[in-house]
Chain A
């Protein structure tokens, strides 16, 4: 957790000796920046370094990069072993800035250990609170099993036929049970992203999955809001996925339903030589450049989200992205202005795209 690491570095007990970057942002340290860094350096190459070990910048100063948890920490602007010690002007301007990699390693080890201990304690506290989740999850599973058994007692050859022939109450019960179980799965991944990799690995025809999900959502919510989904593209490929994967179409299609202002939402799926490309397109409020990245973070919603949908905790896209990462791909968003406003909101064509590698997770 980046927040914990930042708090540790900014606290007086662990304040760094030498200047330090954390993921490209400066952290306050006891030593000020080297005069060369503040007056001569234009590139700040050390701030984005992801090479562990000692490196030397173009001005001849050493910097040490470390990966701690999910963050990159770089101690910079110091004299190390690789610095050119024969450069007299560098030496003259670097008085008191000798900081060996050995000392940096010791300090970083201490920070890393403290971070790990606090993280473990946070997880244990969270686990105590989540303990109360245990029974509702089991009850939801039981309701789902019972709902399936009720449908199975109906008329028809296949489960799909039996569901089609069920009463509207039975259909509602089954769909609600499905949504309940999926909501718990989503929440489970929110609290523990590792769980995106649990369960069976299945070979799945992506097109069919998206088609099934859009059909369920259309009948459950789409009709009510007068929205329709248009499936496009050619895809027959089967890819091995984790059990959590269906949450991705669920989140993206539900989002498109909630936040679009026009009737049609397009879902395009196409096989390529390396995988299957998926794109969900809808028209809705414009998303600024920073929002296109931030909406995948925990608890973040778009600027106009509240106006369109009061409920929403900014969980869906975060979870969808975590599941995507478990499957070795990333979801990206883009927003193109349409040049008009609606209800005081600039409208745009919003696309959520990703490419599932053909190799899958097996």
Chain B
């Protein structure tokens, strides 16, 4: 111990400098650690009030919906205001015919607007129904808008039910723009997904503390701080009014879009 003291005493100004520098670094380090700890604690105690505010804080660059690729699969593309849609910034491709043997390229599009008659080579009458089934089978989350006036036909009920939205053609400019924007927002916009989650939680009639707990677990799950099982277990313990599996599924969809 005396040797060490003598060693430092011999160094003089250098030892003072080293001591002071180390001391400053230590204080800065402690300050930062305390600050981070306090911030985390603050988030735990007063988390975001709802999923939408949480998503807003995460998502500095909202999804650019106009960059999404849209396919209009209809033998009569003149029924759509494609020039208007393209001027509005949408990325539209018109396809007048598809073969069931070669349809997978449609899955590359972010949104498909699909007619039912005269578009599938193998079945001109209701080929759109079979195509709808195959697309949804390959990718259930691929958004498809059913574009047909044949709502009166009971044999096409499945075609309409599998779709994410139904429109009739011919269709007005603003109406199709709304249909496209709403569908893209619903699937690709994190804010829209977050709003759905908030509506789900509000509709369950949870107490304030239950809702806060469920949201807290949701935030942790999205931040990958807890896994599937922990989320489901914690939510089920907090309240039985909420379907924890459905909540997890919605959180997964939200995570994908953030």
Residues from chain A with a CB closer than 8 A to the CB of B192 are none
Chain B residue numbers with a CB within 8 Å of A142 are 170
Q: Shortest distance in angstroms between B123's beta carbon and chain A's nearest beta carbon?
A: 13
Q: Is A192 an interface residue (CB 8 A)?
A: yes
Contact call A195/B152, Cβ cutoff below 8 A = yes
Q: Is A338 an interface residue (CB 8 A)?
A: no
Distance in angstroms from B193 CB to nearest chain A CB is: 16
A200, B154: Cβ atoms closer than 8 Å? no
Q: How many angstroms between the C-alpha atoms of A192 and B151 in the bound complex?
A: 7
Q: Are B152 and A200 in contact (CB under 8 A)?
A: no
Q: Give the chain A neighbours of B155 by CB distance below 8 A.
A: 123-124, 127
In B15-45, the 8 Å CB interface with A consists of: none
**Do the beta carbons of B153 and A148 come within 8 Å of each other?**
no
Q: Mark A191-207, 1 if CB is under 8 A from B, else 0.
A: 11011001110000000
Binary contact track B214-244/A, C-beta < 8 Å → 1, others 0: 0000000000000000000000000000000
A141, B149: Cβ atoms closer than 8 Å: yes
Shortest CB-to-CB span from B179 to chain A, Å, is 8
Of all chain A residues, the one with the shortest Cβ separation from B172 is: A145
- Which residues of B are found within 8 Å of A131, using beta-carbon distances? 125
The reply to whether A188 and B152 form a contact with Cβ atoms under 8 Å apart is yes
B157 near A127: Cβ-Cβ < 8 Å: no
Complex: A138 Cα to B78 Cα, angstroms: 13
Please provide the chain A residues from 117 to 164 with a CB less than 8 Å away from any CB of chain B in the complex: 123-124, 126-127, 130-131, 133-134, 137-138, 141-142, 145, 148
Judge whether B172 and A133 touch: CB under 8 Å: no
Q: Which residue of A lies closest to B152 (CB)?
A: A188
A187 is an interface residue with CB less than 8 A from chain B? yes
Cα A189 to Cα B153 in complex, Å, equals 9
Interfacial chain A residues near B172, Cβ < 8 Å: 145, 148
CA distance A198 to B162 in the complex (A): 11
Question: How many residues of B sit at the interface, in one of the four size bands?
Answer: 20 to 34
How far apart are A185's CB and chain B's nearest CB, in angstroms?
8
State the CA gap A100–B168 with chains docked (Å).
52
- A200 touching B153, Cβ below 8 Å: no
Find out whether the CB atom of B169 lies under 8 angstroms from the CB atom of A192.
Answer: no
Q: Which of A141, A148, A184, A192 is within 8 Å of B154, CB to CB?
A: A192
DSSP class of A's interface residues: helix, strand, loop or mixed?
helix
Interface centre among A124, A127, A191, A198, by most chain B C-beta atoms within 10 angstroms, is A198
A/B interface sample: 30 pairs, CB < 8 A = A124-B155, A126-B153, A127-B153, A127-B154, A127-B156, A130-B152, A134-B150, A137-B149, A137-B152, A138-B149, A141-B149, A141-B169, A145-B170, A145-B171, A145-B172, A148-B172, A189-B152, A191-B153, A192-B151, A192-B153, A192-B154, A192-B157, A194-B157, A194-B161, A195-B151, A195-B157, A198-B166, A199-B166, A199-B167, A200-B179
**Is B165 positioned at the interface, with any CB of A under 8 Å from its CB?**
yes
A contact residues around B125 at 8 Å (CB): 131
Residues on A with C-beta less than 8 A from B171 are: 141, 145
Cα distance, A198 to B155, chains bound together (Å): 14
A: number of interface residues (CB 8 Å): 26
Closest chain A residue to B155, Cβ basis: A127
A residues bordering B, Cβ < 8 Å? 123-124, 126-127, 130-131, 133-134, 137-138, 141-142, 145, 148, 184, 187-192, 194-195, 198-200
Q: For residue B160, which residues in chain A have a CB less than 8 angstroms away from its CB?
A: 194-195, 198
Q: Does B56 contact A (CB under 8 A)?
A: no
Q: Which residues of A contact B179 (CB under 8 A)?
A: 200
Known contacts A145-B170, A188-B152, A191-B154; can you find 6 more A-B pairs with CB under 8 A? A127-B156, A130-B153, A137-B149, A137-B150, A141-B149, A184-B152
Question: Within 8 Å CB of A200, what residues of B?
Answer: 165, 179
Q: A191's contact among B152, B161, B168, B169, by CB below 8 Å, is which?
A: B152
Give, as a whole number of angstroms, the nearest-CB distance from A118 to chain B. Answer: 14
The smallest C-beta distance from A326 to any residue of chain B, in angstroms, reads: 13
Of residues 139 through 192 on chain B, the ones whose CB sits less than 8 Å from some CB of chain A are: 149-157, 160-161, 165-172, 179
**How far is it, in angstroms, between the C-alpha of A195 and the C-alpha of B166 when the chains are bound?**
10
Report the bound CA distance from A133 to B172 in whole Å. 21
Task: For B167, list chain A residues within 8 Å (CB).
Answer: 199
CB of B117 within 8 A of chain A? Answer: yes
In the assembled complex, the Cα of A233 lies from the Cα of B79 at a distance in Å of: 43
CA distance A187 to B150 in the complex (A): 11
Smallest beta-carbon distance B146→chain A, Å: 8
User: A130 — which chain B residues lie within 8 A by C-beta?
Assistant: 150, 152-153
Mask of B93-135 contacts with A, CB within 8 angstroms, 1/0: 0000000000000000000000001000000010000000000
Q: Are B154 and A123 in contact (CB-based, < 8 A)?
A: yes
Residue among A187, A189, A200 with the most chain B CB within 10 A? A200
What is the distance, in angstroms, from B78's C-beta to the closest C-beta of chain A? Answer: 11
**A134-B154 Cα distance, complex, nearest whole Å:** 14
Which A residues are CB-close (under 8 A) to B169?
Answer: 138, 141
**Shortest Cβ distance from B150 into chain A, in angstroms?**
6
A194/B165 in contact, CB under 8 A: no
Once bound together, how far apart are the Cα atoms of A142 and B76, in whole Å? 14
Contact B151 A198 (CB under 8 A): yes
Closest to A362 in B: B199
**Once bound together, how far apart are the Cα atoms of A261 and B153, in whole Å?**
38
State in angstroms the CA–CA spacing of A124 and B168 once bound together: 22
Q: Which residues of A contact B165 (CB under 8 A)?
A: 200
